[in-house]
Amino acid sequence: MTSPPAELQQIANPAPAYRMAAMLLGVGSLHFLTPQPFDAIVPAELPGSARFYTYASGAAELGTAALLAAPNTRRLGALAAVALFVSVFPANVNMVRLWFQDPKKPFALRAVALARLPLQIPMVLQALKIYRNS
């Protein structure tokens, strides 16, 4: 079966992939520039040092950003983004747990941490949409 002529093929809008790549580039960079806040939310149940997980997740975010930015690897990058967003969810839940136990944390920060949890769903859905449209 042959592909339709190029002028009839729908060209996927790369803007969502670029936006997601930019977000991951920024957050991934922060893992290396200011690792302490990320270290603090790594679940204590994980073996090894928190810094290892901070750097590993930062590297995964930077790698995923690079995959999303390049048209030839965008589909793989979108799947990597799904895996990344699902795999960091336990740390986000742990952050909520820790912050709600800390009376020194302002209520506004606790509310933001809690509000972030359901935002993982649209991020996963957007990554799946990028995968389908790439």
At residue 49, the pLDDT reads: 96
Mean pLDDT of 70-83: 98
**94 in a structural domain:** no
**108 in a structural domain:** no
**35 in a structural domain:** yes
**125 in a structural domain:** yes
In this prediction, residue 8 has a pLDDT band, given cuts at 50, 70 and 90, of: very low
- What's the sign of the alpha-carbon dihedral 45, 47, 49, 54? negative
> What average pLDDT is seen over the chain?
91
Residue 47 CA to residue 14 CA, distance in Å, equals 39
**76 in a structural domain:** yes
Number of domains forming the structure of the chain: 1
**82 in a structural domain:** yes
Give 81-111 as a DSSP string: HHHHHHHTHHHHHHHHHHHHH-TTS-HHHHH
pTM: 0.84
The pLDDT tens digits for 102-134 are 999 999 989 999 998 999 999 999 999 999 999
Mean pLDDT of 76-82: 98
Q: Domain span at residue 74?
A: 15-41+48-87+121-133
Residue 55 CA to residue 103 CA, distance in Å, equals 28
**101 in a structural domain:** no
Which residues have a Cβ under 8 Å from the Cβ of 124 and sit 6 or more positions away?
82, 85, 86
The pLDDT tens digits for 11-58 are 679 999 999 999 999 999 999 999 999 998 898 889 999 999 999 999
